[in-house]
Amino acid sequence: MAKIKVLVVDDSAVVRQVLTAQLQADPDIEMIGAAADPLLAMTRMQVQWPDVIVLDIEMPRMDGITFLKKIMAERPTPVVICSTLTDKGTETAMAALSAGAVSIITKPKIGLKQFLNDVSDDLISAVKAAARANVRRLQVAPKLTADAVLPAADHRSSALLRTTDRVVALGTSTGGTQALEVVLRALPRMSPGIVIVQHMPEHFTAAFAERLNGLCQIEVREARHNDRVVAGRALIAPGGKHMLLRRNGAQYHVEVVDGPLVNRHRPSVDVLFRSVAKCAGANALGVIMTGMGDDGAAGLLEMRKAGAQTVGQDEASCVVYGMPKEAVKRGAVAKVVPLDAIAREIQSQLLL
């Protein structure tokens, strides 16, 4: 009988080393590789596809839940989750199972190496059971547009919206965590108010925003309903919620709302960009950055038609040139710039 080909995806070098040693010691298992994040895993999988994937959840460049959903939608493969975030009954564990994971092994936050050695037999059993699992392609939900959350902007009234207050809207996905760090760290304390959609699942955005807040001169935080959009502050849409820009007189604030997936995402860049087109018009700058798919392309075009300045990250500096490419193709991008120039584009808004 052919050996079970296994790929480990975990950003911890210790975990990769221990799991690889444990699994390849079993005569029925063949280790075909270990990757530090899903993008590296995808490169490896183009050469040889595994029978089973052992997957962490909290990783750079792409989280494990997003990776799991992509696998199950495109080429269903048994996945065993091995993570510190999946205590029994937690929302993250439920999300992993709902996305198609076959089983879950929860790692402790301390004593990790000893724990992994102690559960070696459980891990091997889980991998062998997963190899026999009959996994099926996920039922992909219809791809809704921003119409499912709010109506399109009326561009005839956009000229009436011009004030001295500027708003910057950023949209990004795969590779965006590192790209946003580059942009936001380069901004001085006196910068325009910023609203951001980064495709991330629930419970990840708060920690992501908190980390950036400790690195940046500007304030960075996960958005709360009715938060003001003010100079020197960046608001990141919470995972699992849509974020919309609203205006009350001369002041901008955000709404954080439930709603259906838009472009199969929640939060959706298109929803944010459409709301910015409606509420800010020519007072806004829209920036579309690295990411898979086309979320944000339609919304950025609406912003441009409403008089906003629009910028797309260039292909050379993108981890994945998907979202900006689609926006360029639709005529939504007025200016293409490398990642290290985006902060300058944001600062230029203060001079307009």
Amino acid at 310: T
Q: CA–CA distance from 301 to each of 146, 268, 274, 324 (Å)?
A: 13, 15, 9, 12
User: Is the Cα torsion angle 36, 92, 274, 302 positive or negative in sign?
Assistant: positive
C-alpha 334/C-alpha 304 separation (Å) is: 8
Active-site residue flag, 295: yes
Give the ranges where the chain is alpha helix by DSSP (H): 13-24, 38-47, 64-74, 91-98, 112-118, 120-131, 176-185, 205-215, 269-279, 297-305, 323-329, 342-348
Of 108, 103, 106, give the one whose Cα is nearest residue 128. 103
Place of tokens 């075909």: 32
Phi, psi (degrees; rounded to nearest 5) at 106: -90, 120
Active-site residue flag, 199: yes
Question: Looking at 199, 242, 253, 265, which residue is catalytic?
Answer: 199
Question: Looking at 173, 191, 275, 317, which residue is catalytic?
Answer: 173
Cβ atoms of residues 195 and 272 within 8 Å: yes
Of 8, 54, 2, 50, give the one whose Cα is nearest residue 27. 2
Phi, psi (degrees; rounded to nearest 5) at 112: -65, -45
Direct distance between the N- and C-terminal alpha carbons of the chain, in angstroms, rounded to an integer: 69
b/e burial code for range 76-99 (CB count within 10 A of at least 16 → b): ebbbbbbbbbbeeeeebbebbeeb
Peptide bond into 267 cis (omega under 30): yes
Cβ atoms of residues 293 and 327 within 8 Å: no
Residues labelled catalytic:
173, 199, 295
